[in-house]
Amino acid sequence: MEQADGGKIQAFSASGFPVSKKRILLVEDNADEVELMLRALRTHHAQAEVIVARDGVEALELLFGADQAFARALPNLVLLDLNLPKVSGLEVLRRIRADARTLELPVVIMTTSKEERDIVEGYKLGANSYVHKPMRFEDFEQAVRFLGLYWLVLNEPSKG
């Protein structure tokens, strides 16, 4: 649906919220979970571009490496698994929060771990949210829908 706004055409979703191109960095090593996440995001947040990093090193390379084009247009949201090869999700989060360019970047830990130490450490390191991945696809899809609605539509990010 589109609505005119002072001479400008602005796209709106079926829920009435403005639609804009958002970027999500999905950091997940499990190919099946990547596919489930992409399916859920396509179903509910088709306007979002999803970039997949399959391990912690790849995520850090995208955020801080030689590809300056990606670093200049940081994602609007990072969905971060904890159990990653090469560099753990907690270490990725630590490095994100240690750099001024990514300090305020929203990071949602989305993992199978319910370990209290992981939850506490994730929040200590600056995670914006910690979500346990539901086992049933319907519940997983609903969790992704709510995360996307909040972080990509309702949340007002810092401009600084």
- CATH number, domain containing residue 72: 3.40.50.2300
Regions of the chain with pLDDT less than 50: 1-19
pLDDT at 126: 97
> Does residue 5 sit in helix, strand or coil?
strand
Q: Which residues pair with 22 in a beta bridge?
A: 48
pLDDT at 7: 37
Whether residue 15 lies inside any domain: the answer is no
Q: Which residues pair with 53 in a beta bridge?
A: 27
Whether residue 96 lies inside any domain: the answer is yes
Whether residue 14 lies inside any domain: the answer is no
pLDDT at 3: 29
Whether residue 159 lies inside any domain: the answer is no
pLDDT at 15: 42
Whether residue 13 lies inside any domain: the answer is no
The pLDDT tens digits of the residues spanning 57-92 come to 999 999 998 766 666 788 999 999 999 999 999 999
pTM of the full predicted structure? 0.82
Q: How many CB atoms lie within 10 A of CB 12?
A: 13
Question: What is each CA distance from 160 to 65, 83, 101, 150, in whole angstroms?
Answer: 22, 31, 10, 20
Tally of domains in the chain:
1
Whether residue 97 lies inside any domain: the answer is yes
Structure tokens at 129: 């949210």
Structure tokens at 6: 């002072």
- What is the span of the domain harbouring residue 120? 21-154
